[in-house]
Amino acid sequence: MADHHLNEITIDGKTYPLGHLRSLEYEFTGIDSKDGQTRTFKVRVVFTDHCYTRIPSPDEVFYEDEVVTDTAKELRIFDRKRYTFSLALPQAVKGLMGTRCFFGDRNNYFFIKLENGQQFHVYFQVVHIGKGRLLMRIQSAYQTHQKSGLQSIPFGGILKGVSEGRPPLARR
């Protein structure tokens, strides 16, 4: 199993820093399109190990030190492509205000980030954690192809809805 610390992970003798995925605090400010009022949201952002790991394919051969998570629920191995992309995640999240996100299929949302000509979907949930505070949990980020027929919503609309106790839901 990989030597996994809060600040780094070691795979096959190579150390990969994880400090960029520590929880962050951001303030997002935007103008409400309905009433023209300026709104500021305080958001704590946390990242899961799914940002740099993946489930191996059934016939895949991997080394024991590539295993990051091994529980009765799931087995996940280190993924260098996801790890490399994860380096850009804090900055991508910081720049979300004013962009459109999409409804996921697990009571979550995602945004699309292009990195070196490759398209990544970054999945997240937002929950209200106290007066004027939200928690954004980055669930996963991986390379994929554009899906069609997606319903979009402004990132600020997600923050506003969750902060008011009415998380936006996809139209069925």
* Residues 88-143 pLDDT 10s: 999 999 999 989 999 998 889 999 988 878 889 999 999 999 888 999 999 999 88
Model confidence at 5: pLDDT above 50: no
User: Any residues with CB less than 8 A from the CB of 137 and at least 6 apart, and which?
Assistant: 45, 46, 48, 124, 125, 126, 127
The pLDDT of residue 33 is 74
Q: What is the SS3 assignment for 141? A: strand
Burial label for 114, CB within 10 Å (0-12, 13-18, 19+), is exposed
User: Is 96 within 8 Å of 134 (Cβ atoms)?
Assistant: no
Q: What is the pLDDT of residues 23-50, one digit of tens each?
A: 999 999 988 777 888 999 999 999 999 9
The pLDDT of residue 121 is 93
What mean pLDDT comes out for the span 75-100? 93
